[in-house]
Structures are given as C-alpha cells and as structure tokens.
C-alpha cells in the first residue's frame, strides 16, 4: 500500500537560525501560560528533546539511568549555545525563540517560554556542555564550555572537546524535593514513559536519528531516513507496509495533512497510537482525535483505537499553542473545518483501501500479512483484530453448513487449507485461526461451567512454572485463582509476587501445551489484567497460544478433521480476534477472471 511518492513524511524541521538569547520583557512573560513544572523524569526528557529539535538537530541521543532519577543525558548535533549565553540559558524567561508578544503568533519552534532549563536546574544538578556552530572553524583546541549548576547555582566550569551541538546532563533529579521523590513510581514505569515519548518524537521527526539507551541497553533506535514508514518499522519491528495507507490532502493555504493511517489489523486498545502533530508539535486534542476516529466509524470494534500518524500543517497564526502548560493542547482558528477535513481524509483513504474482506483481491492482503505477523503482542504494539460487531457482517449466512460440506484439496504454504465446495467454488481456510476458533468456543463453554462451580482437570506439568507478577497484578491474580482452576489452570501463590503454575488447560494436542507453557508469563499477565474484559482476553490468548501454528504440515485426514470440528462451532468464519478464517472465491469469480 505504501508508495515511494510519500517519502516526504518529514515534519517541518525548524530553521537553522538562532537569535540571541534575551530575557523576556515582563509584558511578554505575563502573556505566556504558566509553564509546566517538572513532574517526573519524562518531563525533563521532553523539554531537552524539544530544545534539541529547536536547535535543528539531526541526531539526538538520550541516555537514562535509574529511571531518570540518577542520570538523564540528551546530546544533540544542533547549532549549540554560544559561550557567553550558556549560563543565562538557565535563567527563567530567557529564550532565543521569541522576543515580543507578536512572535507568539508566528512560532516555528517547540519552545518559547524560556523556562525549561531553569525549572530543571532548580530541582537537580545540570551540566550543560555546548559548542556553537559558529565556532566550528576554530579548530579542536577551541574546546566547548561546560558549566554545572546545582540547585540553580553554578558549581563548576570546564572545557571539553566537542563538535557543535549541546549535551545536557541531569543528575539527582528531585534531590531537593523529597515530596516529589515519594510519589515517583518505579524505574520501570518511568522508563516506560520515556520510551513512549521517544517513540512519539521519532515518528514526529522521521528525518532525525534517535537513539535511547536505558541503563546501558539500547531501548530504541531510528535511522533518521526521513520516511515515516521506515520509522514505524524500526520502532515496532513489524512489516507494516500493507497495513498502512498514505494520506495526503490539503485545503488551500489553510491546512495540509499528510502521514499514514493503519488499517483494522493495527487497531489498538489505547489511544497512544493516534498520533497527530500540528506544525511538528505532538498534540492531544480531544476533538481532533475524535475526528480521526470518526473516520474509522464502523471499521473498528468498540474500545479499539486506530494506529495513525498524521501531520497537520497550518499557518502559525492560525494555531495557538500558548494555552496549555505542557503545550500538548492547542487552539485552532479553523477547528471545525479541520475536524471535518481529518474525518474526510481518513474515510476517503479507508474506503479505497481493501480493509474489508469482501474487497480482498487474490492474493488477499490480509492473508499475505498474517503470515509474516508475529504473535499478537510485540514491543507493546498489539496487532490483532477483535471485533464483535464485525462478526455479523463477515460470517456468511450458513457458514456452518458450507464448512460441513467442504472437501479439502491441498494445503498451501503449510498454513491454509484449500477446499472445494459442492457448488465448485474455492474456499481458503486459515488453519491457525480455524483451530483457534474451535479452542476458543470450547474454552468458553468450560468457562461458563466455571461460573456454576464446575471445573475441568488441566494437563499437569511435569515441572511447575514460576511466573513473577507486579504487585498490583499479584493481588488481582490471587483473587482470580479459583476461576483459573475451573479452566484447568492450577496456580498458587508462591510467596511475594511469585506464582507457581502446575497445570494448563488440557487437550489432545501436545504441541499446543508446549506453546502454552512457553507463554505462561504472558498468560498470567493477561489473567491479571485490570480490565473488565480480562476473561475474554484470557480465553483468546489461551486459544491463540494453544492453536496449531501456521507452518505445520497437515495430512488430508487432518485437514478434513479440522474442517469437521470447525463446522461444529457457532461462528466458523471469524477467529476470536475478529479476523477472517475463510476466504471465498466463487464460481462466478473464476468465470469472470478467466473469462470462460
């Protein structure tokens, strides 16, 4: 779906000009919405990345230790800070980005309040090392200046060799704000926020090379190739090509929209992946997000949100970013018009794209993708389809009868059963999804029994498996142990946050059990999900994990047996995730295509 013509997915990069650093005059300072206080490590990283982007950086390296409390370092290759301005850069309301109130309406930088460095310096030890681009010709011996401030006071000065650009190192965050420290979540939580933040900026600035190292491990890396599709692949390690559709549209001089929108397969259970950048700034605007989701109306199941990255460019004087402390909310002069345009842009693209199975052309893109897709969860991105509403529309009438009469012909790519119907039409049956559906319906029946205190015996594991939960998960899991037991999962608390799993749901299939054992940690986490539909998620995961994989060779007897069991389920046409199990090529299709 992706064409080379859309390689220009580059957010507007700031211009490489730098004005002198000035203290804002009181009247300007007053007009600026109060800046966000530094709440947690990720807020520091956000400000430092924005400064680097404002300085025209092409490469931004971020290092984090101890969840950010011990150390955070952001290094860029931007235009740097001249020596005589280094110290003043840490004063409040000192900025090189605006000078007058009018400048607020022609902003082309992410920062403008001149507060971030000051706020960070007030609650940590900050070392600034910078070499301005103007000094580049001056030889190596002209080392860059570095200053260290603690609690806002300069404690150290030095010189170090450096190419142009800036490195900001923040140590001991909140050392003087114990109250804030107390509310800090664990390092893992903070790291998680930081990774998500970097993902967003990496997508917003595909032409910038990002590198994130957390506790000496590379957590994220992009090539800065300038192509959003490449960045997406680099971040999520998925071949998303056929699941993304390019968007490119504009409304005269008032707005231009470009980027990519994901198809149904990429639907996610959070809004994190609805990414909208307005003039290069990642924004979270309810009306605009809703406008985008409106474009998907009827395509995504309830509770699911699309994955999309869109860039909206508007004239700087038609957007006000000075309304929210974190600048994540903006006010648009032509909001109504843009809301309508976003919905329309998404809808137009989706209508053209082969999102619905009816429109799948041979060889169907869904099929083509699914073979390459890894499990449903990878690197935090859930690739699945779950669609209650979707079932009705795809299950062809009488699917059960049809499946019952199918005669298997062969197996394609060890993944798909080719079968002939009595009327001479061809059916393709995804063996993994078919099996998954069978197991899912079986588990649902078992689970219905659990509510009436019936229980089934699981398959006893020779060696029990220990899973480690987070604290809140451990308590939830403990409450749910009786229900799990009913499903055949013998699990007991093993002190602290550890649990011992002694059995998994039984079945004749040894391969299925092996797969389950390999995924017990993931399954336990699903069973401890803090959501109202954890049961269904668990049943889906169990069936997905124990269903036969693609890549398994099936003899004709096994093919027939699978089709017969599939004929016994209530919804043989869609897998529990909502994806098609059957594709149909009618006789009419053959007659038409072969021109018989």
Q: How far is the CB of 106 from Mg ion (least distance, A)?
A: 17
**Quick one: which of 56, 67, 80, 111 contacts Mg ion (CB under 5 A)?**
111
Say how far residue 501 (Cα) sits from the centre of its chain. Answer: 31
- Which of Mg ion, ligand ADP, none interacts with 21 (beta carbon under 5 to 8 A by kind)? ligand ADP
What are phi and psi for residue 95, nearest 5 degrees? -150, 150
Q: How far is the CB of 353 from ligand ADP (least distance, A)?
A: 40
User: In terms of CB distance, is 80 or 111 closer to Mg ion?
Assistant: 111
User: In terms of CB distance, is 320 or 475 closer to Mg ion?
Assistant: 320
User: In terms of CB distance, is 51 or 148 closer to Mg ion?
Assistant: 51
> Where does this chain touch Mg ion (CB under 5 A) — which range of 50-58, 62-70, 163-171, 183-191?
50-58
Q: Which pair of tokens denotes residue 523? A: 């399954």
- Which of ligand ADP, Mg ion, none interacts with 77 (beta carbon under 5 to 8 A by kind)? none
- Which of ligand ADP, Mg ion, none interacts with 97 (beta carbon under 5 to 8 A by kind)? ligand ADP
φ/ψ region of 376 (left if φ > 0, alpha if ψ in -120 to 50, else beta) reads: alpha
Task: Give the separation between CA 352 and CA 295, rounded to whole angstroms.
Answer: 13
Q: Which of 389, 508, 387 is nearest to 442 (CA)?
A: 508
Q: How far is the CB of 26 from ligand ADP (least distance, A)?
A: 17
Taking CA 341 as the corner, what is the angle to CA 338 and CA 343, rounded to the nearest 5 degrees? 110
User: In terms of CB distance, is 110 or 194 closer to ligand ADP?
Assistant: 110
Taking CA 219 as the corner, what is the angle to CA 184 and CA 516, rounded to the nearest 5 degrees? 90
Q: How far is the CB of 57 from ligand ADP (least distance, A)?
A: 7
Task: Give the separation between CA 451 and CA 441, rounded to whole angstroms.
Answer: 16
Residue 76, beta-bridge partner list: 60
Taking CA 409 as the corner, what is the angle to CA 404 and CA 414, rounded to the nearest 5 degrees? 105
Q: Which alpha helices (DSSP H) does 138-227 contain, by range?
A: 178-182, 187-204
Question: Site residues (CB under 6 A) for ligand ADP?
Answer: 21, 47, 51-52, 55, 76, 78-81, 89, 94-97, 111-118, 166
Cβ neighbors of 57 (< 8 A, separation 6 or more) are: 76, 77, 78, 165, 208
Task: Give the separation between CA 517 and CA 510, rounded to whole angstroms.
Answer: 11
Whether the Cβ atoms of residue 309 and residue 228 lie closer than 8 Å to each other: yes
Q: How far is the CB of 149 from ligand ADP (least distance, A)?
A: 13
- Which of Mg ion, ligand ADP, none interacts with 203 (beta carbon under 5 to 8 A by kind)? none
- Which of Mg ion, ligand ADP, none interacts with 67 (beta carbon under 5 to 8 A by kind)? none
Task: Give the separation between CA 377 and CA 581, rounded to whole angstroms.
Answer: 20
**Nearest residue (beta carbon) to Mg ion:** 111
**Nearest residue (beta carbon) to ligand ADP:** 111
Taking CA 240 as the corner, what is the angle to CA 259 and CA 229, rounded to the nearest 5 degrees? 40
User: In terms of CB distance, is 44 or 574 closer to ligand ADP?
Assistant: 44
- Which of Mg ion, ligand ADP, none interacts with 268 (beta carbon under 5 to 8 A by kind)? none
Q: How far is the CB of 113 from ligand ADP (least distance, A)?
A: 5
Whether the Cβ atoms of residue 256 and residue 313 lie closer than 8 Å to each other: yes
Q: How far is the CB of 511 from ligand ADP (least distance, A)?
A: 54
Q: How far is the CB of 253 from ligand ADP (least distance, A)?
A: 28
Q: Which of 559, 46, 5 is nearest to 282 (CA)?
A: 46
> Where does this chain touch Mg ion (CB under 5 A) — which range of 7-15, 111-119, 177-185, 391-399?
111-119
Under rule CB under 5 A, how many of the chain's residues touch Mg ion?
A: 3
User: In terms of CB distance, is 43 or 386 closer to ligand ADP?
Assistant: 43
**Quick one: which of 116, 194, 288, 528 contacts Mg ion (CB under 5 A)?**
116
Which residues contact Mg ion by CB under 5 A?
51, 111, 116
């Amino acid at each position: 779906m992706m064409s080379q013509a859309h390689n220009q997915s580059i957010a507007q990069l700031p211009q490489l000009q730098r004005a002198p650093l000035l203290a804002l005059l009181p009247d300007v300072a007053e007009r600026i919405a109060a800046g966000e206080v530094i709440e947690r490590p990720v807020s520091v990283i956000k400000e430092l990345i924005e400064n680097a982007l404002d300085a025209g950086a092409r490469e931004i390296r971020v290092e984090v230790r101890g969840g950010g409390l011990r150390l955070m370092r952001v290094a860029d290759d931007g235009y740097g800070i001249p020596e005589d301005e280094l110290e003043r850069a840490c004063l409040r309301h000192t900025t090189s980005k605006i000078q007058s109130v009018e400048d607020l309406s022609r902003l082309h930088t992410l920062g403008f309040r001149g507060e971030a460095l000051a706020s960070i310096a007030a609650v940590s030890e900050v070392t600034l090392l910078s070499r301005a681009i103007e000094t580049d010709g001056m030889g190596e011996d002209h080392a860059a200046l570095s200053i260290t401030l603690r609690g806002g006071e300069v404690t150290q000065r030095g010189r170090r060799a450096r190419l142009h650009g800036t490195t900001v190192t923040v140590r001991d965050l909140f050392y003087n704000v114990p109250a804030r420290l107390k509310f800090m979540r664990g390092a893992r939580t903070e790291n998680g926020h930081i990774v998500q933040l970097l993902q967003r900026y990496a997508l917003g600035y595909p032409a910038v090379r990002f590198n994130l190292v957390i506790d000496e491990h590379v957590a994220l890396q992009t090539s800065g190739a300038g192509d959003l599709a490449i960045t997406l692949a680099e971040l999520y390690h998925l071949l998303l090509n056929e699941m993304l559709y390019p968007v490119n549209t504009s409304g005269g001089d008032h707005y231009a929209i470009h980027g990519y929108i994901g198809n149904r397969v990429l639907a996610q259970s959070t809004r994190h992946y609805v990414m909208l950048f307005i003039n290069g700034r990642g924004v979270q605007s309810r009306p605009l997000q809703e406008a985008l989701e409106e474009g998907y109306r009827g395509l995504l199941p309830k509770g699911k949100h699309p994955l999309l990255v869109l860039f909206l460019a508007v004239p700087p004087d038609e957007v006000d970013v000075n309304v929210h402390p974190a600048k994540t909310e903006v006010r648009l002069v032509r909001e109504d018009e843009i809301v309508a345009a976003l919905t329309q842009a998404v809808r137009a693209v989706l209508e053209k794209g082969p999102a619905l199975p009816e429109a799948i052309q041979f060889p169907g893109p869904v099929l083509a993708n699914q073979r390459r897709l890894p499990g449903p969860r990878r690197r935090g991105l859930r690739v699945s389809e779950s669609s209650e509403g979707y079932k009705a529309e795809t299950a062809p009438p009488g699917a059960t009868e049809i499946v019952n009469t199918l005669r298997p012909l062969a197996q394609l790519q060890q993944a798909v059963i080719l079968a002939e119907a009595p009327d001479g039409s061809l059916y393709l049956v995804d063996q993994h999804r078919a099996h998954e559906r069978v197991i899912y319906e079986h588990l649902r029946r078992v689970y219905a029994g659990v509510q009436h205190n019936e229980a089934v015996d699981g398959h006893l594991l020779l060696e029990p498996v220990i899973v480690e939960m987070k604290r809140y998960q451990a308590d939830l899991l403990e409450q749910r142990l009786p229900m799990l037991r009913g499903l055949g999962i013998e699990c007991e608390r093993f002190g602290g946050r550890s649990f011992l799993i002694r059995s998994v749901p039984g079945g004749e299939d040894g391969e299925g059990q092996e797969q389950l054992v390999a995924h017990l940690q993931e399954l336990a986490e699903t069973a401890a999900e803090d959501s109202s539909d954890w049961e269904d998620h668990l049943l889906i995961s169990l069936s997905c994990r124990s269903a036969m994989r693609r890549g398994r060779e099936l003899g004709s007897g096994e093919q027939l047996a699978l089709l017969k069991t599939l004929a016994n389920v209530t919804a043989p046409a869609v897998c529990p995730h909502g994806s098609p199990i059957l594709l149909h090529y009618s006789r009419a299709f053959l007659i038409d295509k072969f021109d018989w």
